[in-house]
Chain A
């Protein structure tokens, strides 16, 4: 465990060095969030009755989504890992007396957290001061806020465990480009990154909520605004834990299989 903690610490402090990049990211995400809010405001003006949750809850969802983008954006994968698989550096990683799976897992969490730490607070603070329905509202209650924090962590772990599957599959396909394109667009769609899941037709939404993708940003961001009933919240947390266990287990098994038949590409 200590080994992985130091991997984590190393990556985390390294990630904190990129402050200029973070500033650029903050501007982009702020502008992005602003445009998203304007689209939903236009739909709200068109037909307020068709809105599945209050406008304020939608705005909070969108701001939190931008603020915590680094935690949940599946397309922000570690390019170094793919490079290592393609150019053969993977051999060094496998020589180390550590589990490749856990090492990469710790490293991915560290990168995502360091980015989020740098970027989230400025966005959250500015969004909190925007006029009422357009800004980030206070959480529905203290209970909701605590649950939000817990599911945020579970959601991050879930995102990383899904990305781990893609890294490991790259062992088999070598060129990760096509795989990544398909995975990125499918998970953006099913996770509620494109449009929040409640905006889908009811039948579709019911199925989508059961998929592992819904256990990422969908749960914490909706709990924060209080748009889930207590039964739905319980079920969502249960599903998060279930999928997290299942997918890390599958990832570990697949990783062992991949390591047995890995071919090192040159070097």
Chain B
């Protein structure tokens, strides 16, 4: 409970800090909106040419894309501190974190709260509404709940990925470029349901990095292609991915040697 209060305090400091530069904040948020808007245009124009991809129509892809983008933006908003963690290790700032009598994950999480990702979030919400209007899904309470589960599970999965990304810095001091394929890459390629990429990729995204649990399977449930209730709860199951991520982080912290600066 105390750590939650502490985290909220960190968030409020961060927000007040950003609000000192209002113009810069709004411009960056607008820029974020625009960046993902061109990604949307890419999908839009491809579907002018093709009517379906692996049985998924334009509006169905839009739903998939927008939910994925919301999940990613939420995780980026909260866990941005991990994304920029290499700087913290190199500057020796992490030494200061370790001497404080508080959980270090909360402190790193609190070091940065990226409110500008709100722009991307807004774009995702607009696209989501547009996708719903375009499609003819028979909405029900359980389907709406599935969307919320997807957001929770997705935020957890991406946060876990950011955590792993940061934990690598304990060993390399630098952020590893290839990890981008799991974060930015997943956002980019997660526009389309994982099933599009074939059987092997689906297996990978089910059992190794659980992208399919937060995207493909619940989407099938929402679209009414699968009726089993388990598909509704799979996104919550994806939260298990936080466990190996936190263990890896703890392992990293134990092996941490200060960079000395």
Contacts and interface: CB of A to CB of B under 8 A. Distances in A.
B50 interface: yes
B45 A204 contact: yes
Nearest to B48: A201
B192 A39 contact: yes
A42 interface: yes
B137 interface: no
Contact of B201 (A38, A52, A201, A204): A38
Contact of A39 (B35, B176, B196): B196
Contacts of A25: 177
B42 A45 contact: no
Q: In this complex, which of A46, A50, A188 has the most chain B Cβ atoms within 10 angstroms of its Cβ?
A: A46
A181 B181 contact: no
Given A21-B177, A28-B181, A31-B181, A189 B54 contact: no
Contacts of B201: 38
Given A28-B178, A46-B54, A184 B35 contact: yes
Contact of A177 (B27, B38, B181, B189): B27
A177 B24 contact: yes
A46 B41 CA distance: 20
B49 A199 contact: yes
B197 A28 contact: no
Contacts of B39: 194
B46 A195 contact: yes
Contacts of B24: 175, 177-178
Interface string B45-82: 11011111110000000000000000000000000000
B31 A177 contact: yes
Contact of B38 (A31, A47, A175, A194): A194
Interface string A2-36: 00000000000000000001001101100110010
B178 A181 contact: no
Contacts of A189: 38, 41-42
A185 interface: yes
Nearest to B47: A43
B14 interface: no
Contacts of A201: 45, 48-49
B181 A24 contact: no
B32 interface: yes
A186 interface: yes
A42 B28 contact: no
A32 B185 contact: yes
A35 B185 contact: yes
B38 A186 contact: yes
Contact of A46 (B35, B52, B180): B52
B101 interface: no
B185 A178 contact: no
27 contacts: A24-B177, A28-B177, A28-B181, A28-B185, A31-B178, A35-B185, A35-B188, A35-B189, A38-B197, A39-B189, A46-B50, A46-B54, A47-B51, A50-B49, A177-B24, A177-B28, A178-B24, A181-B35, A182-B34, A186-B34, A186-B38, A189-B42, A195-B45, A199-B46, A200-B45, A201-B48, A204-B45
Interface of A: 21, 24-25, 27-28, 31-32, 35, 38-39, 42-43, 45-47, 50, 52, 175, 177-178, 181-182, 184-186, 188-189, 194-195, 199-201, 204
